[in-house]
A and B are shown apart, each in its own frame.
Chain A
Amino acid sequence: MSSLPLVVCGLYLLACLIIGIIPGSKASDSAEGYVAGDRSLGPLVMYFITGATLFSAFAFLGMPGWAYSKGVAACYVLGYGILGFLPFYFLGPRAARVGRAYGLVTQAEMVARRFDSRALAGLMAIVSVYALVPYVAIQMQGAGYVLNVVSEGRIGKDLGAAIVYGVVLVYVLRSGVLGVGWTNTFQGILMMSMAWVIGLYVPWKLYGGVSEMFTAIGEAKPELLRAPGLLSPTTDEGGVLVRGGPGSWMAYSSQVLVSIIGFTCWPQLFMRAFNAKDERTLRRTVVLYPSFQLFLLPLLFLGFSAVLYALPPGQSDQVVPYMLTQMDLPGIVVGLFIAGALAASMSSGDAIIHTAASVLVRDGVVTCLGAKPGPRQERTWIRMVILLVVVGAYGLAVSYKGSLVGLLLYAYGPIAQFGPVLVATLYWRGATRRGVLAGLLAGSVTSLAFVTVWTTPFGLHAGLLGLVVNVTALVLVSKGTRLTGVTEGEAFLACAETPGA
């Protein structure tokens, strides 16, 4: 293979660096400018920052890997995306109103404001970082994989991840959310177009078309096209991937449900409510979101196209870049696809790194511990924590050897516990501080326990069990601790309910 794909990747990284650095001079010096972009993001940037943030390395690598190894089990990504962003249509505008009125820039800050609780902000900061760091690690792994494959092993996975995230670090440190927004716009356009071009071209080249490809797979390996797909694969002694038996409906359905609830709760997404110029922009972003959802379809095709073609490497996540480099494709095409995969990794990774650092400083240090830094000092602290987050995530990325999607599902459990908290904060007058705290704590501990200590019954997702405990504790403790006729945060709720407040 020529070195052209590597040159294309290099040019792409240079373009990201330039696009990411330029907006840094436009934001104010305050933490609000750095974290919330002075609440100035219009429809175009909001659309791409939201969509590109949500579609990550796992969309470009993990999902095709699942299609290749587990068949239609990969459709769970399409499934949860159909309803997953919907709660934001209702929660987002309310969050934007209170954000504007009280100067809030994170979701934990919002919850803490409603219930006047520092402990809640601290707990949400801990849960957020617990889930966000593995998510960044997924993105780093993805970047490392593709550079390793496209360079035919000359660039090691760990070095590849370090190069790509070195670029991310520079523009996130320099420009904050505005750098994230503008690079996401560029990256979103690149990855959507590349996904469609390559996702349709490869099945055509190998099988004569998408329909012909599924017909061939249906004849040779029909179990891959039967819902709910197959169990996770294993690798044999020779490092060759061996597909599992039929999957479990309980596991599949609970994954979809937890992902639907957890989708909106990711802090890097929810915080967009505080970035948008107005409520109409927020609602339009949700309405237009299915256009991003559709771009997963060609990536699914790519994964299936490898079923009867590629020599399987040890990990299913690498199957698409591996196959593309083995095919007789023009170097520019391979390079652009790899750049698209890097775009997917970086567009999520940059937003998550920025969010994790903002959450740690704003929710953990300022709101929970009560520190009172000046606007510039707070911005400096966030930049220092960004460095810590990148180093921590990099350590996890180089030491964790499992599947990308597996790591994502692990992260969804604790984040889904924010769902009941956010609804209670913005909608429920009967919710109390103790109720929300009890629900979040009980749900997070239950979810964690079923991941690390116990095994869930019927293969259910640990996050779903956590949600049952969470909602039960939230309702019962709130009812038990609410003083008659008193609503905690009445002014806050009134503000959330009033358009244009």
Chain B
Amino acid sequence: MHRRAHCLFALYIICALAALVWPVLSWVGSAEAPLIVGLPPVVAWHVLWIFIGFSALFLYDRAVHGGSDDT
């Protein structure tokens, strides 16, 4: 169970890192594009990743620690 959580979380870190720098960010934010929920695409993209980041860590914490003190 923990091994699966570790693997999924590592995958999230790789995806998030790629999403925040060149070249992935250049695909999202370089072109002229309509606003997304009232925000420029590059701003909306970062807000999306803040929520993804919170959800990923919250779920990982629950899966590995389940609210206890051990690591």
Q: Which chain B residues numbered 14 to 63 have a C-beta less than 8 Å away from chain A?
A: 16-17, 20-23, 25-26, 28-32, 35, 38-40, 42-43, 46-47, 49-51, 53-54, 57-58, 61
A142–chain B nearest beta-carbon distance, Å: 23
A293 proximity list for chain B (CB < 8 A) = 50
A279–chain B nearest beta-carbon distance, Å: 5
- Determine if B35 and A297 form an interchain contact, defined as CB atoms under 8 angstroms apart: no
Question: Which B residue's beta carbon lies closest to that of A498?
Answer: B71
Q: Which chain A residues numbered 89 to 145 have a C-beta less than 8 Å away from chain B?
A: 89, 93-94
How many angstroms between the C-alpha atoms of A293 and B51 in the bound complex? 10
Interface of chain A, main secondary structure:
helix
- Determine if A225 and B22 form an interchain contact, defined as CB atoms under 8 angstroms apart: no
How many angstroms between the C-alpha atoms of A221 and B60 in the bound complex? 42
A225 proximity list for chain B (CB < 8 A) = 40, 42
- Determine if A75 and B43 form an interchain contact, defined as CB atoms under 8 angstroms apart: yes
How many angstroms between the C-alpha atoms of A83 and B20 in the bound complex? 9
Cβ of B4 within 8 Å of any chain A Cβ, yes or no, is no
A93 proximity list for chain B (CB < 8 A) = 71
Cβ of A423 within 8 Å of any chain B Cβ, yes or no, is no
A214 proximity list for chain B (CB < 8 A) = 35, 38-40
A456–chain B nearest beta-carbon distance, Å: 16
Interface of chain B, main secondary structure:
helix
Cβ of B13 within 8 Å of any chain A Cβ, yes or no, is yes
Mask: chain A, 220-235; 1 = CB below 8 Å from B; 0 = not? 0010011110000000
Cβ of A172 within 8 Å of any chain B Cβ, yes or no, is no
How many angstroms between the C-alpha atoms of A260 and B18 in the bound complex? 13
Cβ of A257 within 8 Å of any chain B Cβ, yes or no, is yes
A287 proximity list for chain B (CB < 8 A) = 54, 57-58, 61
- Determine if A78 and B46 form an interchain contact, defined as CB atoms under 8 angstroms apart: yes
Question: Which A residue's beta carbon lies closest to that of B53?
Answer: A82
B54–chain A nearest beta-carbon distance, Å: 4
Mask: chain A, 248-284; 1 = CB below 8 Å from B; 0 = not? 0110110011001000000000000000001110010
Cβ contact of B20, chosen from A79, A209, A215, A280, cutoff 8 A: A79
B58 proximity list for chain A (CB < 8 A) = 287
Question: Which B residue's beta carbon lies closest to that of A213?
Answer: B38
A-B contact pairs, 11 of them (CB 8 A): A79-B20, A80-B20, A82-B46, A209-B38, A253-B22, A253-B25, A256-B21, A260-B17, A287-B54, A294-B47, A294-B50
- Other CB < 8 Å A-B pairs besides A225-B42, A280-B68, 20 of them? A72-B29, A75-B43, A78-B43, A78-B46, A79-B21, A79-B46, A82-B53, A86-B57, A211-B38, A214-B35, A228-B29, A249-B22, A256-B21, A279-B71, A280-B67, A287-B54, A287-B57, A499-B69, A499-B70, A500-B69
Residues of A within 8 A of B (CB): 72, 75, 78-83, 86, 89, 93-94, 209-211, 214-215, 218, 222, 225-228, 249-250, 252-253, 256-257, 260, 278-280, 283, 286-287, 290, 293-294, 297, 300, 499-500
